Structure 1
Amino acid sequence: MQSHPQEKHIHPPLPEQQQEMPGLTEEMTPRPDHGEESYRGSGRLEDKVAIITGADSGIGRAVAIAFAREGADVVINYLEEDNDARETARWVEKAGRKALVARGDISDQAFARTLIDRTIAEWGRLDILVNNAAHQATFERLEDITAEEWELTFRTNIHAMFYLCQAALKHMKPGSAIINTSSINATSPSPTLLAYATTKGAIANFTAGLAGLLADRGIRVNAVAPGPIWTPLIPSTMPPEKVRNFGRNTPMKRPGQPAELAATYVLLASPESSYTTGALYEVTGGRAML
Structure 2
Amino acid sequence: MPDRIVITGAGAGIGRATARRFAADGHQVAVLDRDADRVREVLASLHGEGHLAVPVDLADAAAVEHAFSSIDEAWGGLDVLVNNAARYDHRGEVGELTDDQWDDVLQVNVLGVVRCTRQAVERMPRGGAIINLTALQRERPIAGWAAYAASKAAVATLTRSMAIDYAARGIRVNAVEPGAIAAWVSPDTAPPGTSLLDRFGAPEEVAAVIAFLASPSASFIVGEIIRCDGGRSILPRSDPQTQTASALEP
Deviation of 1:81 (Å): 5.3
Q: Does 1:176 align with 2:176?
A: no
Count of residues in Structure 1 that have an aligned counterpart in Structure 2: 232
**Unpaired runs of at least 5, structure 2:** 236-250
In structure 2, do the counterparts of structure 1 residues 139 and 168 end up closer, same or farther at CA, with 3 Å as the change threshold? closer
Deviation of 1:97 (Å): 2.9
Higher RCO by CA contacts (8 Å cutoff, separation 6 or greater): 1
Q: Which position in structure 1 is the counterpart of 2:28?
A: 73
**Unpaired runs of at least 5, structure 1:** 1-45, 235-243
**Secondary structure of 1:171's partner?**
coil
Specify which of 199, 202, 209 is matched with residue 257 of structure 1: 202
Q: Which moved more, 1:246-255 or 1:143-152?
A: 246-255
Q: Which position in structure 2 is the counterpart of 1:284?
A: 229
Q: Which position in structure 2 is the counterpart of 1:15?
A: none
Q: How does 1:76-91 map to 2 (within 5 A)?
A: 76-80=31-35, 82=37, 84-91=38-45
Match of 2:48, as an amino acid?
G
Deviation of 1:133 (Å): 0.4
**Secondary structure of 2:130's partner?**
strand
CA–CA distance in structure 2, aligned partners of residues 76 and 55 of structure 1:
5
CA–CA distance in structure 2, aligned partners of residues 191 and 173 of structure 1:
43
Q: How does 1:222-233 map to 2 (within 5 A)?
A: 222-231=174-183
Deviation of 1:163 (Å): 0.9
TM-score norm. by structure 2 comes to: 0.87
Q: Which position in structure 2 is the counterpart of 1:105?
A: 57
Q: Which position in structure 2 is the counterpart of 1:26?
A: none
Q: Does 1:194 align with 2:146?
A: yes
Q: Identity over the aligned pairs, expressed in percent?
A: 34
Partners of 2:68 and 2:119 within 8 A in 1: yes
CA–CA distance in structure 2, aligned partners of residues 180 and 188 of structure 1:
18
Q: Does 1:128 align with 2:80?
A: yes
- Cα displacement string for residues 86-110 of structure 1 (whole angstroms, at most 9, x for unaligned residues): 2311221xx2132211112011111
Match of 1:168, as an amino acid?
A
Specify which of 170, 173, 194 is matched with residue 218 of structure 1: 170
Partners of 2:10 and 2:33 within 8 A in 1: yes
Match of 2:75, as an amino acid?
W
> What is the root-mean-square deviation in Å for CA atoms of aligned residues?
2.0
TM-score norm. by structure 1 comes to: 0.75
Q: Which position in structure 2 is the counterpart of 1:22?
A: none
Deviation of 1:116 (Å): 1.1
CA–CA distance in structure 1, aligned partners of residues 43 and 22 of structure 2:
12
Match of 2:70, as an amino acid?
R
Deviation of 1:247 (Å): 7.7
Match of 2:71, as an amino acid?
T
Match of 1:270, as an amino acid?
S
In structure 2, do the counterparts of structure 1 residues 102 and 70 end up closer, same or farther at CA, with 3 Å as the change threshold? same
Specify which of 134, 144, 154 is matched with residue 106 of structure 2: 154
In structure 2, do the counterparts of structure 1 residues 247 and 208 end up closer, same or farther at CA, with 3 Å as the change threshold? farther
